[in-house]
Chain A
Amino acid sequence: MNIRELRRLLDNREVSVRDVLAAVYGRIDAVEDKVKAFITVSRDEAYRMAEHAQESIISNRMSLLSGIPIAVKDNMCTKGILTTCASKILHNFIPPYESTVTAKLKEHLYVLVGKTNLDEFAMGSSTENSGFHTSRNPWNLECVPGGSSGGSAAAVAAGECIAAVGSDTGGSIRQPASLCGVVGLKPTYGRVSRYGLVAFASSLDQIGPITRDVSDAAAMLTAIAGHDPLDSTSVSYNTPDYEAALGKEIKGLRIGIPKEFFIEGIDKDVEEAVHAAIKKIESLGATAVEVSLPHTGFATAAYYILATSEASSNLGRYDGVKYGLREPGKDLIDMYMKTRAKGFGTEVKRRIMLGTYALSAGYYDAYYKKAQQVRTLIKNDFANAFKEADVIVTPTSPTPAFKVGEKATDPLQMYLSDIFTISVNLAGVPGISIPCGFTKGNLPVGLQIIGKHFDEETLLKAAYAYEQSTDWHMRRPSL
Chain B
Amino acid sequence: MKSGVDTGAIVKKYEVVIGLEVHAQLLTETKMFCRCSTKFGSEPNSQTCPVCIGMPGVLPVMNRKAVEYAILTGLATNCRIALYSRFARKNYFYPDLPKNYQISQYELPLCENGFVEIVVDDEVKRIGITRIHMEEDAGKNIHEERGDYSFVDLNRTGVPLMEIVSEPDLRSPREASEYMKKLRAILRYLGVCDGNMEQGSLRCDANVSIRPVGQNEFGTRAELKNINSFKFVEKALEYEIKRQVSVVEDGGRIIQETRLWDSVAGMTRSMRSKEEAHDYRYFPEPDLPPILVSQEWIDEIKANLPELPDDKRKRFIRQHGLPEYDAELLTSEKAIADWYERAVESGGQPKVVSNWMMGDLMRLLNEENKSVDALLFGPAQMVGMLKLIDDGTISGKIAKTVFEEMYRTGKNAGDVVNEKGLVQISDTSEIEMAVDDVLAKSASEVERFKAGDEKLMGFFVGQVMKATKGKANPKMLNDLLKEKLGR
Q: Which residues of A contact B (CB under 8 A)?
A: 75-77, 83, 85, 90, 93, 95-97, 99, 194-199, 201-203, 229-233, 309-310, 312-313, 316-319, 321-323, 332, 336, 356, 359-361, 364, 368
Contacts and interface: CB of A to CB of B under 8 A. Distances in A.
B55 A359 contact: no
A313 B289 contact: no
Contacts of B53: 322
A366 B427 CA distance: 94
Contacts of B421: none
A313 B101 contact: yes
Contacts of A76: 57
B438 interface: no
Nearest to B96: A321
6 contacts: A95-B50, A99-B57, A233-B288, A233-B289, A332-B95, A336-B93
Smallest CB-CB A-B distances: 4 pairs: A316-B100, A359-B281, A202-B286, A203-B286
B288 A232 contact: yes
Q: Point out which of B56, B98, B282 has the most chain A C-beta atoms below 10 A from its C-beta.
A: B56
A323 B59 contact: no
Interface in B80-105: 89, 91, 93, 95, 98-101
B59 A313 contact: no
A323 B98 CA distance: 10
A95 B99 CA distance: 16
A96 B49 CA distance: 10
A99 B57 CA distance: 8
A316 B102 CA distance: 11
Given A196-B57, A196-B58, A231-B59, A319 B93 contact: yes
A316 B91 contact: yes
Contacts of B282: 359, 364
Contacts of B56: 77, 83, 85, 90, 93, 95, 198-199, 317-318
A193 B144 CA distance: 41
Contacts of A323: 55
A96 B99 CA distance: 17
A75 B61 CA distance: 21
A408 B60 CA distance: 36
Nearest to B280: A361
Contacts of A229: 61
Given A85-B56, A197-B57, A336-B93, A310 B281 contact: no
Contacts of A196: 57-58
Interface of B: 50, 53-62, 89, 91, 93, 95, 98-101, 150, 152, 279, 281-283, 286-289
A316 B95 contact: no
B61 A198 contact: no
Contact of A313 (B55, B60, B89, B152): B89
A215 B100 CA distance: 42
B283 A319 contact: no
Contacts of A310: 283, 286
A404 B60 CA distance: 39
A368 B284 CA distance: 10
B99 A316 contact: yes
Contacts of A97: 50, 55, 58
Q: Is the interface of A mostly helix, strand, loop or mixed?
A: loop
Contact of A232 (B57, B89, B289): B289
Contacts of B54: 317, 322
Contacts of B152: 321
Nearest to A85: B56
B98 A322 contact: yes
Nearest to B92: A316
Contacts of B283: 309-310, 313, 359, 364, 368
Contacts of B61: 229-232
Contact of A321 (B95, B279, B288): B95
Q: Point out which of B95, B150, B288 has the most chain A C-beta atoms below 10 A from its C-beta.
A: B95
B50 A233 contact: no
A229 B64 CA distance: 13
A326 to B, nearest CB: 12
Contacts of B101: 313, 316
Contacts of B59: 194-195, 230-233
A93 B56 CA distance: 9
B98 A317 contact: yes
Given A197-B57, A313-B89, 10 more contacts: A77-B55, A93-B56, A95-B50, A95-B56, A198-B57, A232-B288, A313-B281, A313-B283, A319-B93, A322-B54
B287 A202 contact: yes
A83 B57 CA distance: 11
A76 B55 CA distance: 12
B98 A77 contact: no
Given A95-B55, A233-B287, A323-B55, A356 B281 contact: yes
B439 to A, nearest CB: 83
Nearest to B281: A359
A5 B219 CA distance: 78
Q: Point out which of A77, A194, A196, A313 has the most chain B C-beta atoms below 10 A from its C-beta.
A: A313
Nearest to B89: A313
A361 B57 contact: no
Nearest to B287: A202
Nearest to A368: B283
B98 A361 contact: no
Contacts of A233: 59, 286-289
A310 B287 CA distance: 10
A322 B59 CA distance: 17
Q: Point out which of A85, A199, A318 has the most chain B C-beta atoms below 10 A from its C-beta.
A: A199
A195 B57 contact: yes
A75 B281 CA distance: 26
A373 to B, nearest CB: 13
A321 B98 contact: yes
Contacts of A90: 56
Nearest to B279: A361
Contacts of B60: 232
Contacts of B100: 316-317, 319
Contact of A77 (B57, B89, B279, B288): B57
A177 to B, nearest CB: 23
A474 to B, nearest CB: 36
Nearest to B49: A97
Q: Point out which of B57, B58, B89 has the most chain A C-beta atoms below 10 A from its C-beta.
A: B57
A229 B99 CA distance: 21
A99 to B, nearest CB: 6
Q: Point out which of A93, A233, A309, A319 has the most chain B C-beta atoms below 10 A from its C-beta.
A: A319
B98 A199 contact: no
Nearest to A336: B93
Contacts of A361: 279, 281
